């Protein structure tokens, strides 16, 4: 999986939402959550795919990821993670 294997600063071709995920990983995100909806679904779908890929390889996943029940819950759990000192990210569609 190129998004994980590429070294920081190495040039790779990514979709815009994948680039957001890569930037979050390079920034050291510890916690990511979402309530999925287009067009932002790909951001956290990429987090999910990375977590599965790393688990299959037997490596530790350097972040926690979850799909939340709704947008409010996604924001609240990301805020709680942030209050605990974790770098947190949440994303969702605009309503």
Boundaries of every domain in the chain: 14-92
Which stretches within 28-70 are classed as H helix?
Answer: 41-56
Q: What is the pLDDT of residue 1?
A: 82
Per-residue burial over 46-62, b if 16 or more Cβ lie within 10 Å, else e, is bbbbbbeebeeeeeeee
Which CATH number fits the domain 14-92, given the four candidates 3.40.50.300, 3.90.420.10, 3.40.50.970, 2.40.110.10?
Answer: 3.40.50.970
Question: What is the rounded distance in angstroms from the CA atom of residue 17 to the CA atom of residue 93?
Answer: 13
Q: Considering only 21-25, 38-42, 88-92, which range has the smallest mean pLDDT?
A: 38-42
Q: How many CA atoms does the CB half-sphere of 1 hold within 13 Å?
A: 16
* Confidence class for position 9, pLDDT limits 50, 70, 90: confident
The pTM assigned to this predicted structure is 0.84
């Amino acid at each position: 999986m190129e998004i994980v294997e590429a070294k920081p600063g190495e040039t790779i071709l990514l979709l815009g939402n994948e680039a957001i995920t890569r930037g979050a990983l390079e920034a050291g995100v510890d916690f990511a959550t979402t309530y999925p909806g287009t067009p932002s679904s790909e951001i956290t779908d990429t987090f999910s795919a990375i977590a599965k890929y790393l688990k299959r390889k037997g490596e530790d996943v350097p972040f926690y990821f979850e799909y939340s029940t709704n947008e409010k819950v996604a924001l609240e759990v990301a805020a709680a993670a942030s209050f605990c000192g974790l770098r947190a990210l949440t994303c969702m569609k605009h309503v």
